[in-house]
Structures are given as C-alpha cells and as structure tokens.
Amino acid sequence: MSDELLAKAEAAIPAEVRMISGCKDSQTSADVSNVASFQLPDPAGRAGGALTSSLLSVLYADHKAPDDDLSFQDVLLKVREILAAKNFEQIPQLSASRPVDIHMPFEIVPSDFTGERRALMIGINYVGQQGELSGCQNDVLNMKEYIMDMHGFKEENITVLLDDGSHTSPTNQTLVEQSQPGDCCYCHYAGHGGKLRDQDGDEADGYDETLVPLDYESAGQIRDDTLYTKLVGALKKGVTCTSVMDCCHSGSVLDLPFVFQADGESDEMAAADDFDFDPLTKLAHSLMSGNSLGEAAVHAAAEGCCQIQ
C-alpha cells in the first residue's frame, strides 16, 4: 500500500474499523424467508442469518473456541465453505479502514486494547410486516453470548435492539452508536439490506447500499452515507470497531477502502477498486471542525435517507 493511500484512509476514517459482510454489494444474503413481497427497490433474494450462523459454527461450535488458532483468512474461507455446502452463492468479505494482515489470528479485541468493550447489536425480524424474517433475533442473542464468553464483553456495556417487544426497538433513531478513544466496540446487524439510487454521485455503481430499520416505511432506509456521518466517520482515533453486517448488498455498506474477498482466489487484503476518498474526506473535515458545513452534511445525509425512489 502506498503512503499516500494510507494517509487518505486515516484522514477519511480516524478509527480502526473492520467489517465482515455476508456478501458482495451485488449479492443477496440468506435466511429462511423470501423478501419478494417486502416492497423494496430490489426485493430479489433473501436476507437474514446465514453469515451469523456460519460464523458461530466456525468460531463457537459447542460453545467453545476452535481447537486451532484461526486467521482472518481461515475464518472467512471456512464460512464460505459452510455457505457453499448449503448451496448459497454469497461471498463473505472483510473490509477495513486500514489494511489488515489476513494471516494474523482472528480477533475482535486487539491485543493492545486498553479501554472499555462496548457493543451495539441489532436484530430485526420485521414481526408482523411483509418480508418477515425468522432468524435475526436469535442471531443477535447467540452472538451476544459469544462476545461475552470469548471476548470479555460485559452485559452492562452491550446495547441490544430487537423487535421482540421486550428489548428497545431497532428504529432509525436508534440504529447507530459511537464509542470513546481507547475503546473496542462491536456492532452487529442482522436484518434486511437494500440499494437506493445514489443522490450525490459518490457511488461507482450508481447506488447507495442501505440498512432497513424497523420503521423504514416512515423513516426511510439508512444509506451508507448516513452510516459514515453517524458511525464510521464519527468514531474517534484510537477506537477499534469490528462490525458484522448480515444482510443483502452489504459489501460496501460502511464504505471502507480495503477489502479481502473469501472467493478462494484472493490471498491478501487490497485497496477497493475505484474507491473515491474525496467525498469521505470532505465529510470527515466537516465533522472534525464541527462547523455549519458539518451540520449541513449530517442533515443532508439524514434527509437523503428518508427518500425511497
């Protein structure tokens, strides 16, 4: 990686952010429910817990750690093997704000961690709605047990959002959270993902990737631009954040510049093709300066999130 590329990445995204996604942007993820009737712009396919279930099979089978130390590459390739055995074509991938040595041991909490462990975990089954899913709530509860048992996260530092009537409801207003310098945070999303036409010309394929909150009909889908302004770009330098996005079209939903695809051909993380740092850098400067332009950028992103085309 060139020094110039790394400098752009640090300017655009101060924190160390990593995301494991269940599929490429062009692919749908899998669960037992079909979303053809979900009334979304791109309803083809299914969304839900295939990635989460496969990850747990690799990392937490029989509620214990694997016998062998697994690298990031090992974990994602094993996940791909499980998905392929179930006839799912989706390709899991790891993307990051900094290049990750995929041959290093898999970790959620860095070895040099010094702060608090914090987690935000979201599972949406869309209970009572068209396109209802079945596994997302269970996925979150199972992953919660995993990060507490294997990575030392404490109950009081874990926020769980579920549409089960018992937990806080996962609406647009409660979908993102920030952490403090020195902290290690984990973010898990299991639910529907989508695509909307890009409004500001920063997407090479012409579409923004989205998350679909419980109240999407009234509040709109949450665009990747909004996730940047409220989560990725807002995390401070010194924070390490690992995210699992188990939804359709999730490959670049956090707009991270470095990617490893578990396609059996890639053997290292590389810069994402045609990644444009300029829009993120402008937003980052605005967010850090706290001026009116920054406020306008966040407002514009929120406004865009609520317009389904």
Rounded to whole angstroms, the Cα distance separating 203 from 190 reads 24
Rounded to whole angstroms, the Cα distance separating 241 from 72 reads 15
Per mean pLDDT, which range of 147-161, 178-192, 292-306 is the poorest?
292-306
pLDDT of residue 233: 85
Scan for tokens 């009572």, then name that residue. 128
Per mean pLDDT, which range of 1-5, 45-49, 129-133, 198-202 is the poorest?
45-49
pLDDT of residue 288: 61
pLDDT of residue 199: 67
Catalytic residues: 192, 248
Contact 147, 62 (CB under 8 A): no
> From the CA atom positions of the chain, what is the Rg in Å?
18
pLDDT of residue 173: 54
Closest CA to 146 of 67, 61, 76, 245: 61
pLDDT of residue 74: 97
Contact partners, residue 42, CB within 8 Å, separation at least 6 = 194, 195, 248, 249
Closest CA to 98 of 177, 1, 234, 204: 1
pLDDT over 70 at 40, yes or no? no
Q: How confident is the model at residue 205 (pLDDT cuts 50, 70, 90)?
A: low
User: Count of CB atoms within 10 A of residue 42's CB?
Assistant: 16
pLDDT of residue 279: 65
Contact 122, 139 (CB under 8 A): no
At 296, the amino acid letter reads: A
Exposure string over 12-27, b if 16+ CB within 10 A, otherwise e: bbbbbbbbbbbbbbeb
Exposure string over 161-193, b if 16+ CB within 10 A, otherwise e: bbbeeebeebbbebbbbbbeeebbbbbbbbbbb
pLDDT of residue 26: 59
